[in-house]
Structure 1
Amino acid sequence: MATSSGDSSILEEELTCPVCLDLYRDPHLLPCGHNFCLPCLRRLKTRSAHGQLRCPECRQSHRSSVTWQKNFKLANIADSFRRRGQSEHSSHSRSSLSHTPTEVRCDYCPINEVENDPKAVKTCLKCEVSMCQKHVQPHLELPAFREHPLVEPLNDMRKRKCMEHDEMFRYYCLDERLLLCNACTIEGTHNGHSVKTLKNAMKDLKLHLDIQLHKVNRKIVRAEKNRQEQKEIERQNKAYLDDTDQQLDSFRETSIAHLDAFLASVRECIHTYEVEQGGGVQQNLARIAQDQTHLLEVHSGLERFLKESDPFQFIRDYNSSAKRYRRLLRKPLFFPDEPTVDTEPLYEIMEGKMAEFIAELRQHTSTLISSVCHFEGDGEEEVDEDDEESFEDDYNDSASEVEDEEEEEMRSEEEEEQNHSTGQESADEEYTPEEDEDDEEDD
């Protein structure tokens, strides 16, 4: 088999984790002195029994609660080797002309044979060799190689070998989920465990995956059905909201029109009442204006008498006008009655207008609520007993079919509904509605 024999190969082997068969990543020490990657130790801890973690190298048991110490020097060496390997890999990929880095060379063909392109097509796990199309023919044709397992070309056979016994992995422990060789099964460390060959383990796991795939497909169909149902509900809700908005807009316009008509009728009633009540006031104002005119006449005449300096002229004017002024002063002033506004007729008229407006508004509101909530009257036709029995039979048949097909899902839905109803009942008990108060007052 074609393997590297330099110091780099030895160093890489020393820096490889025995569990994941990859270079150390964050290596930690067990009390027994062996190093493992921290994620590998955590996986082993999750599979440990009775709080005991068994070392994959020496099989020594340790407490799972023991704190692992990080090996800083080993971590630095592994990181440096990994970076150097990546740089060498990139330079090799640029300089390689005959084959790509993923290709595996044939172990039988000479290294310097470039013309025949000695690229391996199969690897024999029993012979531990990689073969090209020419050298793999005996394994395919001769009966002696019939039991030799052939796999895709492997570049590193160590990934298929047990690090402890240097043998090929041929078994799989289902309890510890570990790959085993013949020596691992003979030593007895897995006594009582469920151990199967790799082929049978793969067959069982694939069967399990087929079951899981079937369940996933069923759930995908159910999820798509639920999505379509919710989409349809969303569409119906949107259509319902749009229709409700249109009805509310129409109701608003109708209500505003009725309110304007009601206010116009009330304003007309008030103006009519004002005209009727304003006639008497105008008459009173006219009589008061007459009294003011007479008094102003007397006031100006008396002032003229007092300003007169000629005795003859004063006596002459006094004899001619004093009698008339005295008569005007003796005339009593007009005192109108106290203003009383009789609003009872106006109140009756406005109350009638209000009753008509409220009746129309209640009618339109009831029509709107019935249209929005799809309310149906109580005068429904009675259902025939035979129809009820046939409906119940159909319902029971469909319910039994659903229970037979999806019993587990129905059980989970019932539990969720019970939890929801319990929370709803508790919320209803805590809720105490307040009584409405009527604050309307008639002016």
Structure 2
Amino acid sequence: MAVAGPAEESVLEGELTCPVCLDLFSDPHLLPCGHNLCLACVRGLRRRAERGRFRCPECRESLRCSGPLQKNYRLANIAEDYRRRGRPCRQAPPPPPPPVHCDYCSPGDAALAVKTCLQCEVSMCGEHVKPHLERPAFREHPLTEPLGDVRDRKCPAHDEMYRYYCVDERVCVCNACTIEGRHTGHTIKTLKNTMKDLKESLQMQMQKLSRKISRTEKFLQQRADAERDSHRFVEGAEQHMRVVGDLLQAQSSLQALLQENDPFHFLQEYHSTGKKLRKALKRPLFSPGSVCLDTEGLADVMEAKLEEFQAELRLQVTELIHTVCVETNGEEEEEGHEEEEVEEEELEEEEGG
């Protein structure tokens, strides 16, 4: 049976690692999007969720907190077996470099070096480094952190210390390389100036990266705000539909009332229907605050439609009341004329008798 190598073991461990706690799966459960999380991690995401939804850390899909979960028994068994067998031994970190002692102290009681002079090629303790720090003759000597072996700082072709940097080939070179070596005619800088230029370049890249991170965070915040606004819009739209339903019901009642021909029944129904209408009109309409919608335009349109509906309703009710009143007055006048004619006929009969 073939034994998995370090690369295969690393891939397997990655597949068995929860993306939230970054540990081997413990009681893994399958999300509706197809990814797995530890049950404790799922519960943690649900506790921190907003408006009953959370995002999968793998695919960023929005999931309902009340959505179904199913334990992945096969993955749980594999993770438990992998945990029981023990994780593969990781490569041990390299051992720390051996301590560097002062080259000027006696071998028996040499103190630890604090600096190494690349020109003198010696390491010095705090006492013996003072001349390099105080005397002008050593002012140009480059000092660095203690080095046990300076051979990696030397050019193997010329046995000289690296003091320059070839910009064209991006390598450190010695003085002889720039004069008689293959780097003749190349763009050469001192190591110190090269470090300064590269640090400035890194600073600029860091600033660009910071701006990009800021833009990304702003974009993600806008997306989160837009999502919250979308949820609010859906909830408000449902409320709005209920208000519109009440208004439509009130409108149907008014239309039926406008078709009524019995004055007595009309006046009875008018008060109750009018009360329902006034109650429906007082209910506020939904005003969405979503950044993805033209909320001002939508509010203006709804307000205009409402004012138009109210104006038309008032006009129709006024006309109906006026019509009913006119008809009622006309009937009363006709009855009065009939009574006057009867009285005149009776008087004429009495006079004739």
Task: Indicate the TM-score class for this superposition, using the shorter chain for normalisation.
Answer: 0.3 to 0.5
Q: Give the greater-gyration-radius structure (CA).
A: 1
- When normalised by structure 2's length, the TM-score is 0.42
